[in-house]
Amino acid sequence: MANYFEKVKNYLIELDLPISFEDAQDEVFIINKEDAGITDLVIGVAEPILIMEQSIFEIPEGKNDVYKRLLQLNGQVVHGAFVLDEESNRVVFRDTLQLENLDLNEIEASINSISLMMAEFSDEIINLSKN
């Protein structure tokens, strides 16, 4: 069986992404790169996929217009999508990649997409989180 956890860890190091937490048993990393808009990005190795989740904000009760706007924003995102956490009203940005053929460029593209999304939509995300 391939050691995808170590492979992903080496890619994160090569991309100069600060690993603030790692758990080899659960195969999870947490990345923080605030200058790129990334805070507590959870990267989980869940064979056969790699899951990346960035918590964004919690939707206030009764604010259904937020859902519509998030779906519209999904159409403008290169990789990944806004999703609603199953256990709360927390909006999460999520991306998944196949582990079997995973390479450095794919992880970099996904991380860059999260960073670009946070930069491009930061004002709107802040406004949505306040409504």
25-73 pLDDT, tens per residue?
A: 999 999 999 888 899 999 999 999 999 999 988 887 777 777 778 878 8
pLDDT over threshold 70, residue 1: no
More confident residue, 84 or 48: 48
d(CA 117, CA 37): 9
pLDDT value, residue 68: 78
pLDDT over threshold 80, residue 114: yes
pLDDT over threshold 60, residue 19: yes
Q: Which two tokens stand for residue 123?
A: 């004002």
Structural domains in the chain, CATH included, are 4-130 (3.30.1460.10)
* % of the chain with per-residue pLDDT over 90: 50
Peptide bond into 60 cis (omega under 30): no
pLDDT over threshold 60, residue 119: yes
